Amino acid sequence: MRHFPRLVSKKLSTLFSTRKLLAAKTPLFLPFYHTVGNTPFPHILNYPVIDEKQFKQELDFYLKYFKPVSLEELTKPTKPNSFHLSFDDGLKECAEIIAPILLQKGIPATFFVNSGFVDNKDLFHRYKASLIANKMHMHPDAEAENYLHENGVPLNALLQTPYSKREILDHAAELLEIDFQTFLETQQPYLTTAQIKKLYNHGFSIGGHSHKHPEFWKISQKKQLKQIKKSMNWVVENVNPKVKAFAFPYTDDGVSGKMIKKIHNNRWCDISFGTAGVKYDEIPNHFQRYPAEQTGNFEANIKAEFVYFKLRKTIGKATVKH
């Protein structure tokens, strides 16, 4: 996201009423989250986490200005000012906190899961980094800090540690006496297969989000495809959804248009998603989502996003090209 144009968008957004701004013809609004929690999560420092009260307020905002639509409806012509909600990474709060609220408010949603993490088989490398950062903050350790620095993971960039350096995180955890396996067994941060099937049976959609959440722009197309196929095979084998959906982890930057078209044409998925915000996309049934977990005022952030879309539209750049 370019900083200056978005700063200008935020300033300009104050000149518009929310209703007038959001009533204009725009792409489908596709906000996405990861989790909701009333207490801090030691394993999640890499993005803001809102509490249950704030989540309900944000849902009411969506319902005030947009019409909720299902995943299946996204594959058909939809009315303007529609929205579809989704959640990444398959965290347990999706079943324990989020789904009951969505059912109460009548909001359909899609939960994108990582097949390598379901049933708490493994832990996302950025969550490992968060646990290490937490421990280092409370109990600084020179040996662990030096080890990380010598291996290209300085403390100020710890939360951005890439998938390729996950073994470095594992060794740093050993130095700090952090046991990721014990954390998985005691905290059980992820959904189980049974919970995912229950979500599907309650009317929610289930999609793939890669096998172990690597940065796709850092891996080869062959490895990208392997991550997609493993993820979608798990979804089909365990849920067999009507609509097969895949959300690229982090972003679809670094993924070629040829790759996106290939996974559609080969029916590994029917619909796919990036995270470029409110924009059109040149590829049919490939959509761009809006990251709702941002610092600052929730409503102001959304208004700024729609102003940004309008500014890009005036210069012919409202459509993502691959």
Per-residue pLDDT tens over the stretch 27-84: 999 999 999 999 999 999 999 999 999 999 999 999 999 999 999 999 887 777 899 9
Q: Which of 54, 20, 21 is nearest to 35 (CA)?
A: 54
**What single-letter DSSP state applies at residue 96?**
I
**What single-letter DSSP state applies at residue 43?**
T
Using a 10 angstrom Cβ sphere, with 0-12 exposed, 13-18 middle and 19 or more buried, the burial of residue 36 is buried
CA distance linking residue 44 with residue 134, whole number of Å: 10
Q: What's the confidence (pLDDT) of residue 277?
A: 96
Q: What's the confidence (pLDDT) of residue 1?
A: 47
Q: What's the confidence (pLDDT) of residue 23?
A: 87
Mean pLDDT of all residues in the chain? Answer: 95
Contacts of 282 (CB under 8 A, 6+ apart): 257, 319, 320, 321, 322
pLDDT tier, 12 (very low <50, low <70, confident <90, very high otherwise): confident
The percent of residues in the chain predicted with pLDDT above 70, rounded, is 99
**HSE value, Cβ hemisphere, 13 Å, CA-based, for 96:** 13
Per-residue pLDDT tens over the stretch 244-292: 999 999 999 999 999 999 999 999 999 999 999 999 999 999 999 999 9
Q: Which of 34, 89, 87 is nearest to 211 (CA)?
A: 89
The angle subtended at Cα 62 by Cα 102 and Cα 315, nearest 5°, is: 135
Q: Provide the token pair at 80.
A: 């303007």
Using a 10 angstrom Cβ sphere, with 0-12 exposed, 13-18 middle and 19 or more buried, the burial of residue 237 is exposed
Element (H, E) at 146: helix 142-150
Per-residue pLDDT tens over the stretch 210-233: 999 999 999 999 999 999 999 999
Are the beta carbons of 211 and 230 closer than 8 angstroms?
A: yes
Q: Provide the token pair at 289.
A: 């989502």
Q: What's the confidence (pLDDT) of residue 75?
A: 86
Q: What's the confidence (pLDDT) of residue 78?
A: 74
Using a 10 angstrom Cβ sphere, with 0-12 exposed, 13-18 middle and 19 or more buried, the burial of residue 11 is exposed
Per-residue pLDDT tens over the stretch 285-320: 999 999 999 999 999 999 999 999 999 999 999 999
Q: Which of 127, 104, 162 is nearest to 46 (CA)?
A: 127
The angle subtended at Cα 156 by Cα 152 and Cα 161, nearest 5°, is: 50
Give the mean model confidence (pLDDT) for residues 160-186: 98
CA distance linking residue 191 with residue 122, whole number of Å: 12
> Would you say residue 26 has pLDDT above 90?
no
**What single-letter DSSP state applies at residue 249?**
S
User: Residue type at 79?
Assistant: K
CA distance linking residue 76 with residue 284, whole number of Å: 11
**To which residue do tokens 């998985």 refer?**
184
Q: Would you list the DSSP string of 259-315?
A: HHHHHHHTTS-SEEEE---S-EESSTTEEE-EE---SS-HHHHHHHHHHHHHHHHHT
> Would you say residue 105 has pLDDT above 90?
yes
CA distances from 35 to 43, 95, 156 (A): 12, 10, 24
